[in-house]
Each structure stands twice: as C-alpha cells, then as structure tokens.
C-alpha cells in the first residue's frame, strides 16, 4: 500500500512536470520576432547629406550633415489589451545615419503571436535611465551631455549648416537633451536653479501588425527631418542661432515639433 501510494505521487508529479513543460514549449513556440528599421526623409524624399539644397518654413536654406539619436522604452500594444515592453536584451537603441548597422534594430525579445494595434517609444532616454556613464564605449559615449548641464546623454544631435540673412553659411547644432532654467536669465552654470526633461513619447501612427508563429516582421520607422523646423512651430535658424544647448525655449520648440516627426513606412514579413 505504501509503495502504491508513493508510486501514485511520483506519477502525478511526473505528469504535472510534463504538462508544465508542454505548456512552456507551447508558449515559446507561439511567438515570432520583429526588427525596427530607420529611414530619414526630407520633404518626403531620402535625405541627401552635405548639400545646401533644402529650405525650411522660415525660409532658411539648410543642409544636414549628421543625425544621431536614441529611442527607448518601446511598447507593443496587443489587441487583447496586453502590452509587450522591449527590454530583454536592450531597451535603448542608438541611431546614426553614418553607421549603417544602427539603422536596423534586430529585437531580441520573443513577440507572442497575435494582432498588435500600435507601437510607442520614448524619443531620447527617460530621467530614470539617463545617467552619466550608462555607456562607456563609442559611438554612444560620444553622445554625453555635460554633468553641469544635467548629465546623461543627448537625446539627439542634428548637425548642419544654413545660409543666414547676410548670405554667409553658418554651422548649426540642433541638439536636444536636458534643459536648464537660469536665475534672472543669466546663462551661466552657477545660475541654474532647475533642470527640464525634454524627452517625449511617440505613438507611431499606422503601426498595427499581426505576427504569427516563427514569423519575422520588419517595421520601418521614418523620421521626417524637415518637421523639426516646420510644425507646429516655425523654427528660424536666424533667430535661434547656431546652438540650442543651454537654451530651453529653443529646445522646448524642438520638443514640441518632435511629436509629429515620425511616421510608419513599410511593415513587411521577412
């Protein structure tokens, strides 16, 4: 009787273990993977670097030389109301138009099969995560933001040139990061009395997709660079000058113009 009882327990435990293993296997199998590709347009066409061929809404002739930025905290909203947060390998991705490898993010996380309504992400890095020495190697380390100005890293660097009202070609550094508020508007480090977090959330329009078992989906995220200078505020390089670090009013315009910067390109099965 005692042996029969023990045998019964062992059989039950074995069956439970097998059942759990089958459940785990089924869960793991019913998933696919996504990648995010990054495309950069001006006036609806692929960016052509280093040529003074563009004109913004303020009438500034300009060119783009470099574009570098972070996106983080990607969230996928499933039709059943659940949310998948991309964070199993990395939750911060660096994009640099001069480094082709950064223009595609092969997301490590398993994405459970089903229909997804939308994709959101943070442009930049949240206050909680944006700490100095988060990155120690290039190229990300080159995005450091001075500790005296709030520390951490730039959210974005767009470097280029514009032709001013005198006809001279000037450099501009359209950089977004932590802002500062200054006592009596005296722009000196000793006058800083508060910092402003200028990262923002992006709800990528038309980013719904369906993924099936073992499927790979590539989602193209398009940055419309001209929108940084055109909507909803007209950004005039002649007014704001060549650099906007330590100029929170200018960075506030950049932040507010950023909400419609991104659109969805192709969503393809790979």
> What are the pLDDT digits (tens) for 192-230?
999 999 999 999 999 999 999 999 999 999 999 999 999
Q: How far apart are CA 19 and CA 189, in angstroms?
A: 63
- Residue 186's pLDDT is 87
Query: 146: closest CA among 71, 246, 66?
Result: 246
Rounded CA Rg of the chain? 24
The Cα angle at residue 207 between residues 206 and 210, in degrees rounded to 5: 120
Question: What's the whole-model pTM score?
Answer: 0.88
pLDDT of residue 191 exceeding 90, the answer is yes
């Amino acid at each position: 009787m005692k042996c029969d009882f023990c045998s019964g327990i062992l059989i039950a435990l074995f069956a439970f273990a097998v059942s759990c293993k089958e459940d785990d296997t089924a869960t793991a199998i019913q998933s696919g993977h996504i990648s995010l590709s990054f495309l950069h347009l001006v006036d609806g066409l692929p960016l052509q670097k280093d040529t003074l061929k563009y004109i913004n809404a303020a009438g500034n002739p300009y060119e783009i030389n470099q574009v570098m930025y972070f996106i983080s905290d990607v969230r996928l909203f499933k039709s059943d109301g659940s949310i998948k947060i991309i964070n199993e390998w990395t939750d911060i991705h660096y994009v640099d138009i001069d480094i082709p490898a950064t223009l595609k993010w092969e997301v490590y996380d398993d994405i459970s099969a089903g229909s997804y309504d939308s994709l959101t992400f943070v442009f930049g890095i949240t206050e909680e995560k944006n700490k100095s020495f988060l990155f120690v190697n290039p190229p990300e380390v080159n995005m450091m933001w001075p500790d005296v100005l709030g520390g951490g890293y730039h959210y974005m660097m767009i470097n280029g040139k514009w032709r001013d009202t005198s006809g001279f070609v000037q450099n501009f550094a359209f950089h977004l990061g932590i802002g500062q508020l200054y006592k009596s508007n005296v722009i000196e480090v000793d006058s800083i009395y508060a910092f402003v977090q200028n990262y923002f959330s992006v709800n990528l329009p038309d980013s719904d997709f369906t993924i099936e078992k073992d499927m790979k989906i590539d989602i193209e995220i398009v940055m419309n660079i001209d929108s940084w200078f055109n909507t909803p505020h007209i950004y005039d390089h002649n007014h704001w000058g060549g650099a906007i670090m330590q100029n929170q009013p200018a960075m506030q315009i950049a932040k507010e113009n950023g909400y419609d910067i991104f659109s969805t390109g192709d969503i393809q099965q790979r």
